[in-house]
Structure 1
Amino acid sequence: MTVAVGDELPPLTVNVTRKDLVCYAGAALDFNPIHWNEKFAKEVGLPDVIAHGMLTMAFAARVLTNWVGDPSRILEYGVRFTRPVVVPNDEKGAVVELSGKVREVNADDGTARIDITAKFDGRTVLGKAVATVRIS
């Protein structure tokens, strides 16, 4: 794989629906009511039900896996959760736009550092989203 600083990874758009939240809650055993109960979410100051942060992080990781192919090539991946993804109660859900860009290439160890961007409603929802991947 030939990689250069500044290369852009293929972008990805994900529609996060309430059904996705229910499925993720069951898999992760995270049944916090802010992820499924509109009334509760609003009572605690949220605009509506929000996606699990770790689910948003997982969707962002798809940009990496789609690009490198093998998930085991992701050596390190971390983010900060900066804004919630508010998920409306409809078929479309919340549209999250994901992209990545090569920030650094280390030819000595065959790795690259990737900056990932995740946006919802035009605003970044993950901060300092950075991964190290094996490119050779």
Structure 2
Amino acid sequence: MAATVKYDEVETGQQLPPADYPVRRANLVMYAGASGDFNPIHWNERFAKSVGLPDVIAHGMFTMAQGGRYVTDWAGDPGAVVDYGVRFSSMVVVPDDEQGAVITVSGVIEEKLEDKRVVVALTARSGDSRVLSRARAVVQLS
């Protein structure tokens, strides 16, 4: 776990370093087991293509979770996120090869609030597509 970020160490407008989160089909199968979402568009290429998708796609909540992971990794405290919301703007297509897909998440301190809280605006991309929009987390810092 990273060192805990302190409120006095951050400024509005501060860019947070990007992080890459690889996504393989095995990750989607594991996520399906954990979430109970076994929709075949998330693991069966033939089925996904039969319903008009370009390939297997990651679960939206899996994609959202990578943004949450990014914030908790940055903050150094898994309990630091007090509010988190996103809109899904594009799919994470996961080809069946060694590379799979990558979700790249970055952030910026959008606002400093009272009680040592900050609003982190997130950007999440996979390939050329922005996969989350309006992604914001309110984070309690020490």
TM-score norm. by structure 2 comes to 0.91
Aligned residue among 19, 29, 35 for 2:36: 29
- In the alignment, structure 2 segments of 5+ residues that lack a partner are 1-5
Q: What is the DSSP-based 3-state SS (H/G/I as helix, E as strand, rest coil) of the residue aligned with 1:88?
A: coil
Q: What is the DSSP-based 3-state SS (H/G/I as helix, E as strand, rest coil) of the residue aligned with 2:79?
A: helix
> Structure 1 runs of 4+ off > 2 angstroms?
none
Aligned to 1:133: 139
Residues 95-118 of structure 1: per-residue CA shift (max 9 Å, x gap): 111101100001x32100000110
Aligned residue among 31, 47, 53 for 1:40: 47
Aligned residue among 103, 112, 120 for 1:114: 120
Alignment of 1:52-71 (within 5 A): 52-71=59-78
- In the alignment, structure 1 segments of 5+ residues that lack a partner are none
Counterpart amino acid of residue 4 in structure 1:
E
Q: What is the CA-CA distance between 1:62 and the residue it aligns to? A: 1.8
TM-score norm. by structure 1 comes to 0.95
1:9 and 1:63 in contact (8 A); partners too: no
How many residue pairs align between the two structures? Answer: 135
Counterpart amino acid of residue 140 in structure 2:
R
Percent identity over the alignment is: 53
Instruction: Measure the CA separation in 2 of the matches of 1:73 and 1:62.
Output: 11
Aligned to 2:16: 9
Aligned to 2:3: none
